[in-house]
Chains A and B, each alone.
Chain A
Amino acid sequence: MSVESVAQVIASGLLMGLIYALIAAGLSLIFGLMDIVNFAHGEFLMTAMYLTFGLNLLLTLDPLALLPVVAALMFLLGVVIYRTVIRRAMQARTSVWMAQIFVTFGLAIMMRGLAQLIFTPEYRSIRHHWLSDRSVDLLGVYLSLPQLAAAGVCLLGFLGLYLLIARTDFGRALEATREDKEAVALVGINRDLIFALGWGIGGAAVGIAGVMLASFYYIYPGVGANFALVAFITVALGGFGSLGGALLGGIIIGLVEAITAMLVEPSLKSIGIYAVYMLVVLLRPRGLFGYL
């Protein structure tokens, strides 16, 4: 095995890891804020990919140019889902936990079914854009341009989320709400609004991930499932509710997956991921940066 192919596998693993991290960011944010695991997260991703595909077809704009549009639409979707579905489920008198699990699970199945109804189960992909199917050759290591761009957007996205949470009043209100959901009402923070905005930002984050993913991956109604499980593991590995943890978790998973595929056998590559996850759970059940 040459140095180049090892470097290639590590570089590709790193790029993929940053994409996993970006997908997991929204999931982690919503969980941290209100202890809800959104099982429809993969379907949010799928919706964003179809939005990108549809708008690209309709407006013939490059996916990168569509980034703010899709992010805004997904923000809206997040808020609407919170206001209509999640808030109602949270009012359940008994087994609130179960109600939340089942409602997001049901939402996932419904969104997938709707997508198949509207878009047919055909595999789609965005063929022509600035970066499509191009790659740069760095001393024998090929890096795909769409994936490089996705990794860059991921780092920018995490920076933006960090600044939003650490440096703004809204961020402080978000942190306070996550610390003590009851007490914030006493100091005049509108908890309901914070939750809605949290879902909106979570939706926008996964929307950004969807745009970047759509520029190089195929799109179909069940595409979310290919990434949702990895996103859950990423969040659990990094620590529920920790953005830094999601970033590091994604990178670890991307690298472990690529290296397992190279060294052991490609069909067993998810075993590497779960082995690392099990190890983390055994040694540190709350995840690397979990606050729980």
Chain B
Amino acid sequence: MMRKLSAWLSAYIAAIVFVFCAAAPASAAETEVVIGAIYPLSGQAAQVGVDARVAMETAVDIINNSYDLDLPLARTAGLPNLGGAKIRLVWADHQADPQKGRAEAERLITQDKVAALVGTYYSSVAAVVGQVADRYNVPFVVVDSSSPSLTRQGFKWLFRISPHDEMMSTAMFEFLKDLNATKHIDVRSVALFHEDTLFGTDSSNAQLKLATEAGIKVAADVKYRANSPSLTSEVETLKVANADVLMPTSYVNDAILLVKTMSELGYHPQAIIAQDAGYTEPSFLSAVGEMANGIISRGSFSLDLASKRPAVKIVNEMYKKRSGKDLTENTAKELMGLLVLADAIDRAGSTKNEAIRAALEKTDLPGDKTILPWRGVKFDATGQNILATPIMVQFIDGQWRTIWPFGVASHDVVWPMGGK
């Protein structure tokens, strides 16, 4: 009985192997460009990776097939300058661990021979992948990791399409200044609350500096341990400091715990101005429910943008069909990031690393050819997109609304945010 079973099993495996081998030559021809995507597909941020995958597969669909959208490579099928070559993504899981990120980046480069890398959500992982990319001379497009230090380490092969946290924090303080000037809301003190990896530390350093420059008192600067079982002592410290505005920087699980603990301890600042990430994730919103009302976040995406950029609505539908969710800040950047990279490879007309890098350096994409509220995509010498202008959004009546710059706002800012 066992022998018969194992005979069947080996025949079955042999059949599968045969089918794969037979199929391989067709897809391995020169008609495709392979790009490596490094994301957390398991571990505490797995949902981010899973969503990123859907977003980027949507981008691949836009590139490889033809759609009537005002986006790079949408109207053609494949990359026209490479004879209609298709984009194929190879996925790697970094599990939010920089060491795993390094190993996976090396695997993608040496074994899968990828033409370029994209990723990685976690700034701490992007920092080591940047090193690997520089060692192997492979272009690395950072689409959603926001630590300022990533573009300040002199990486030659790293390009970042999204604004970094210092640009974002600058926007937050300009927003506060504008609030005072036009709406007579005078914020005198802020409390910083940030997680203890690269993302949180860099964000709070920038905010500390900007607050001092703006003459705003930093009443508390709480660095907390990510994935804590409890944040009670931390919230008690914030409550005692009693600042006008709380500025948190967290990934999604800590964001949930923070907002719940704040409600339990009866701590209600005038406003929460969040450094995006956890606070704009759909799972955060569904976990905390009405407690999310009035939270302000920096951002570079909001669905109400559809009135100015018609492509936003159609792309959102395409994404929603695959994931059941609307596009968010992160997924919009991931989708757009791949389009920018593919556009550069097409302009390079080759998968040679130097050619792609030169094309990325020459990128000059106007804002209306993106799904983001940016002025466009254009990299400076450090690889940072200098046309990525941040906006401020607020969660009002179950939706993210653009509230700043006041000129493009779709809703008036709600201040104070309220709460029991």
Contact = CB atoms under 8 A, between A and B. Distances in A.
Interface of A: 1-2, 5, 8-9, 12-13, 16, 20, 112-113, 116, 120-125, 127, 133, 135, 137, 142, 144, 216-218, 220-222, 225-227, 230, 257-259, 261-262, 265-270
A123 B252 contact: yes
Nearest to B42: A116
B361 interface: no
Nearest to A262: B233
A142 B222 contact: no
Contacts of A257: 230, 233
A29 to B, nearest CB: 21
A222 B252 CA distance: 13
Given A123-B253, A133-B264, A216-B260, A266 B224 contact: yes
A221 B42 CA distance: 9
A228 to B, nearest CB: 11
Nearest to B227: A226
Given A12-B232, A122-B47, A227-B229, A218 B253 contact: yes
Interface string B275-315: 00000010110111101000000000000000000000000
A1 B236 CA distance: 10
A8 B266 CA distance: 12
A5 B287 contact: no
Interface of B: 42-44, 46-47, 49-50, 196, 222-225, 227-234, 236-237, 239-240, 252-253, 256-257, 260, 263-266, 281, 283-284, 286-289, 291
B222 A266 contact: yes
Given A16-B230, A122-B47, A133-B260, A266 B289 contact: no
B283 A122 contact: yes
B44 A220 contact: yes
Contact of A123 (B43, B230, B284): B284
Given A123-B283, A220-B253, 6 more contacts: A8-B265, A142-B265, A261-B234, A266-B223, A267-B196, A269-B233
B266 A142 contact: yes
Q: Top 9 nearest A-B pairs by Cβ distance?
A: A121-B46, A261-B233, A12-B232, A123-B283, A144-B264, A125-B287, A266-B224, A267-B196, A121-B47
Nearest to A140: B266
Contacts of B257: 217-218
A120 B225 contact: no
A258 B233 contact: yes
Nearest to B45: A121
Given A123-B287, A133-B263, A216-B260, A8 B236 contact: yes
A218 to B, nearest CB: 5
A135 B267 CA distance: 12
A120 B232 CA distance: 28
A151 to B, nearest CB: 13
B289 A127 contact: yes
B225 A222 contact: no
B240 A1 contact: yes
A9 B261 CA distance: 13
B237 A262 contact: yes
B264 A135 contact: yes
A50 to B, nearest CB: 15
A142 B260 CA distance: 13
26 contacts: A2-B240, A20-B229, A116-B46, A120-B47, A120-B50, A121-B42, A122-B47, A122-B283, A123-B47, A123-B287, A125-B256, A125-B287, A218-B256, A218-B257, A221-B42, A221-B46, A225-B227, A258-B230, A258-B232, A258-B233, A261-B224, A262-B233, A262-B236, A265-B223, A266-B223, A266-B231
Contact of B229 (A1, A16, A259): A16
